Amino acid sequence: MRPNEMKMTPFQLAMLLIPGIGSTAVLGLPGTMAAFARQDAWMAPFAALPASALVIWICGKLAARFPGRTFPEYGPRVLGRVPGKLFALLLFWYFFHLDAAVAREFADFLVATAHPRTPMALAAGLALFAAAVAVRHGPEVLARLGELFTPISALLLLLVIGMSYSSMDLDLLKPVLENGWRPVLTAGAVAQAFTGQFVLLLVLLPSVTRPDGGVKASYAALALVVGTLSLVALVSTSIFGPLTERLVWPFFKVSRVASFGSVLARIDPLVIGFWVGGSCLKLAVHLYAAVVTFAHTLGIQDWRRLVFPMAALVAVYAVGHVESFVEHGYMLAYFWPPYTALFHLVLPALALAVAALRGAGERREVTSGAASRR
């Protein structure tokens, strides 16, 4: 069955994208942004907003030109057979590499906080196995999982922030813009490496009942992700101050200090549980994108048979591509932003520009519109 034969609503797409993009960023990104912008780290997600909105706009325009098709299907038609296949393979590599990075972060966090004696390969392998089982059922099932998971996670996030209110000191956010806008924009580039993951729409929009509605829902999801990252960075900085940049997972530390008097405290195991769920959902979304992109690039009709082998390869690469979580954090802070910009903006924008110059896709769009009016 083709992915675009299994449909999700625009609302379900938004509920899938929010944890599929923001789940791993919530815990670790505030510390990385604070390393560049210090007390102004809460502004950085807003600096990433324009570029991320541009990613959604480009993906929406491509989806409108080639309805019901993923990027690997129309890429050769737009760019030529060889360049189109090459671009599609580069996009596959991005999804594969990102999935491995998420799996490594998942394993590092789980081993460091909850299961120190668990082998990292086992943690990553079990997470990817769970993700592969979900992916085998198609995008509609992933969307329903997001629909169930996202509202509960949002309530938990608000609960942690509310319980940590007494520990906040807003004076730690001053002076505002002490070093000007440059550190904020630098931290914004780091944040954009996460918020730019809306490039998933190149694969997911064909599975939406109304692609135009899916684009609007994606803008709403982006606003929620950016607002959440800004709020989390603000709370972390107002509690830990200059120490925020030294913490690997600042918001996890926030959940440890959060309390409601002597009635409710130490809810960090609950946070671990929900973060594990969100990370597995993010793993599933990007695994699905990698498998579908690879299958469509090589002309394989049954993409399902690739799911478990691909998950196994991701697990192996996740364990072996960096030596420690310190090296992994350095990679995300300094290498990841320029690296991901190639896949978030350059490749989709180039494809859209060539399609516009060649008029590719326009005739089909007009023809389908005329047929629908009849």
Query: Does the pLDDT of residue 239 top 50, yes or no?
Result: yes
Q: Render pLDDT for 69-116 as a digit per residue (tens, 0 to 9).
A: 999 999 898 888 899 999 999 999 999 999 999 999 899 888 888 888
Tell me the average pLDDT across 355-365. Answer: 69
Percent of the chain scoring above 90 in pLDDT: 55
**CATH H superfamily, domain 3-365:** Amino acid/polyamine transporter I (1.20.1740.10)
In this prediction the pTM is 0.90
Q: Render pLDDT for 108-162 as a digit per residue (tens, 0 to 9).
A: 888 888 888 889 899 999 999 999 999 998 888 999 999 999 999 899 889 888 8
Tell me the average pLDDT across 180-185. Answer: 92
pLDDT on residue 2: 52
Query: Does the pLDDT of residue 371 top 80, yes or no?
Result: no
pLDDT on residue 367: 40
pLDDT on residue 373: 39
pLDDT on residue 255: 86
Tell me the average pLDDT across 178-187. Answer: 91
| pLDDT band (50, 70, 90) for residue 362 | low
CB 144 within 8 A of CB 131: no
| pLDDT band (50, 70, 90) for residue 365 | very low
pLDDT on residue 72: 92
